[in-house]
């Protein structure tokens, strides 16, 4: 049921995409919500419609069926209501870190000097102090993601949609970024919807995790994560963490055809089977 606490609420959302005129059912009767201030992750086999679901929430795509409410109201036009960040940082190579960060504010019509002031206030929190005048090519992968994140956060949306934001980073940087995001989220009090293929990441960060079936994506499992907050990376060794992860991996593996080698796409699955919970190197 919808209630005003729900930042975003979807009921019975379906979507068919077309390739060369041929219909491809991508999502089927998906029910989903994220409450105000909640951290929700979506996991599922590759191609099951996770990004399509985020695109629908963001208003970049319209569903073929179902209902969507935003902040307790019908939201036929949702474009611009949420901040959206992709795996690719999408920084503009000809703009400095500072000027990339203020892009969203500039689009909103905020004067450059005011936009710069707001961005400078957050540079430290995003680990970018001293790099304001650098161009993206001079930054590490993690720094580029934080710069893209800063741009998303500066746009001041209550709902942030993150599509595999750490997917392209090496394992160690990803862990640092996850801890950094935990810290940031706990102080920002935003609602976050994260698409990830990393089960550890989903459990460590989330209040709830949605598991989607193989395409057409349907909600297969909604798993509450009651680990205490603030969370720390070393919790991945806790029995409670491992049990939650086992439940999610089992649910995902049921969706995976062995011939597709799908386990390779589920970081953490192989380690779990071999009794270790370390992030794969």
Binding site for ligand ADP (CB under 6 A): 17, 19, 24, 26, 44, 46-52, 215
Whichever of 100 and 196 has its CB closer to ligand ADP, that residue is 196
Q: How far is the CB of 161 from ligand ADP (least distance, A)?
A: 12
Min separation Cβ 254 and ligand ADP, Å: 16
Q: Which is nearer to ligand ADP, 45 or 136 (CB)?
A: 45
C-alpha span between 189 and 191 (Å, rounded):
7
Q: How far is the CB of 197 from ligand ADP (least distance, A)?
A: 8
Strands 39-43 and 65-70, by their bridges, are unpaired
Long-range CB pairs of 147-151 (<8 Å, 24+ gap) are 147/89, 147/91, 147/97, 147/100, 147/101, 148/85, 148/89, 148/90, 148/91, 148/100, 149/85, 149/181, 149/184, 150/101, 150/119, 150/122, 150/123, 150/126, 151/100, 151/101, 151/102, 151/103, 151/104
Taking the least distance from each CB to ligand ADP, the nearer of 44 and 165 is: 44
Please, are residues 7 and 81 in contact by the beta-carbon 8 Å criterion? no
Least gap, CB of 134 to ligand ADP (angstroms): 31
**Least Å from the CB of residue 29 to ligand ADP:** 16
Structure tokens given for 153: 């956060």
Select 44 or 104, whichever has its Cβ closest to ligand ADP: 44
Nearer Cβ to ligand ADP, position 51 or 96? 51
């Amino acid at each position: 049921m919808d209630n005003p606490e729900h930042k975003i609420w979807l009921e019975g959302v379906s979507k068919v995409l077309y390739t060369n005129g041929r219909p491809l059912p991508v999502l089927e009767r998906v029910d989903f919500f994220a409450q105000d201030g909640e951290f929700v992750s979506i996991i599922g086999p590759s191609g099951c419609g996770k990004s399509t679901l985020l695109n629908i929430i963001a208003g970049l795509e319209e569903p073929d069926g179902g209902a969507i409410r935003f902040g307790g109201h019908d939201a036929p036009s949702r474009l611009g209501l949420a901040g959206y960040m992709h795996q690719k940082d999408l920084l503009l190579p000809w703009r400095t870190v500072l000027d990339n960060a203020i892009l969203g504010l500039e689009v909103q019509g905020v004067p450059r000097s005011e936009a710069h002031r707001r961005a400078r206030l957050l540079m430290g929190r995003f680990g970018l102090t001293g790099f304001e005048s650098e161009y993206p090519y001079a930054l590490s992968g993690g720094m580029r993601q934080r710069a893209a994140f800063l741009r998303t956060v500066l746009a001041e949306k209550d709902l942030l949609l993150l599509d595999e934001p750490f997917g392209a980073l090496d394992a160690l940087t990803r862990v640092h970024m996850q801890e950094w995001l935990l810290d940031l989220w706990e102080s920002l009090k935003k609602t976050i919807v994260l698409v990830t293929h990393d089960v550890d990441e989903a459990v460590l960060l989330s209040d709830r995790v949605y598991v989607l079936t193989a395409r057409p994506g349907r909600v297969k499992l909604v798993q509450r994560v009651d680990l205490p907050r603030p969370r720390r990376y070393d919790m991945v060794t806790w029995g409670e963490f491992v049990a939650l992860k086992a439940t999610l991996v089992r649910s995902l593996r049921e969706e995976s055809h062995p011939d597709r080698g799908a386990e390779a796409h589920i970081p953490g699955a192989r380690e779990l089977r071999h009794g270790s919970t370390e992030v794969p190197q």
